[in-house]
Structure 1
């Protein structure tokens, strides 16, 4: 897979087309079919007990694969999630940002399939695993 957008271009795309996520995510690295992104955990991401909520971890997985796909197809804002399966495996470490390691397993003309492992930053044990499918709109 050829890389069409780098970290700076992906960040500019997010800032322009998704300003509502503001400073929620930091793209750490991007490769052809891989991406690493940090969720900058804040109070609004927590649930009772001080852990990051499931919907927040879903958002991290979703944004991660979305950006990984855009990195190889270019800035196609209308690529959308068509399927997600997520397993929550352990409670994230309280007060620590989460990092998602994303990879595209298959990039077709219409669908992209990927997986995501989410970690508490600095901990090698994954807290969640997601399988994501994205629909790519026809060009033109």
Structure 2
């Protein structure tokens, strides 16, 4: 199955539709099996103790899985998160971007389910794992 949107189209969509995060998140790669989203970590993402905050990791997973869905179905901006679960497993490495390796587990007409493994760039062990479900609106809206 060919992608409906590739990296360039997804990154352009982010810049157009999500100005609040367009300079922080980008798609590094996308194919039929996986999308990799990158969070350019800086001071605004840190919590006391110098580690990346949980909300920043959650946002990366949410945006990454959302973009993985759009890569398959095309630009459907009103697809929304309906369920989410995240496990924080270890402290992210200081001074490194975060990468979310996102997969679509089920893609239906109305619902999509995906997961993301988040790692500090260059590190093997994941720092978080997230599972999310999205509602896909009818195309005639």
Q: Under a length normalisation based on structure 2, what TM-score does the superposition of the two structures give?
A: 0.97
| Residues in 1 aligned to 2:14 and 2:25: alpha-carbon distance in whole angstroms | 9
| Residues in 1 aligned to 2:39 and 2:139: alpha-carbon distance in whole angstroms | 31
Q: 1:115 maps to which residue?
A: 115
Q: 2:91 maps to which residue?
A: 91
Question: How much has 1:116 moved relative to structure 2?
Answer: 0.4
Is the partner of 1:69 in helix, strand or coil? helix
Tell which deviates more after alignment, 15-24 or 105-114: 15-24
Q: 2:78 maps to which residue?
A: 78
Unaligned runs of 5+ in 1: none
Q: 1:55 maps to which residue?
A: 55
Question: How much has 1:26 moved relative to structure 2?
Answer: 2.0
| Residues in 1 aligned to 2:62 and 2:82: alpha-carbon distance in whole angstroms | 11
Q: Deviations over 1:56-79 (max 9, x none)?
A: 000000000000000000000000
Matched, 1:16 2:16: yes
Unaligned runs of 5+ in 2: none
How do 1:18-33 and structure 2 match up within 5 A?
A: 18-33=18-33
The structure 1 segments of at least 4 consecutive aligned residues displaced by more than 6 Å after TM superposition are none
Question: How much has 1:87 moved relative to structure 2?
Answer: 0.1
Aligned length: 140
Across the aligned residues of Structure 1 and Structure 2, the Cα RMSD in angstroms comes to 0.8
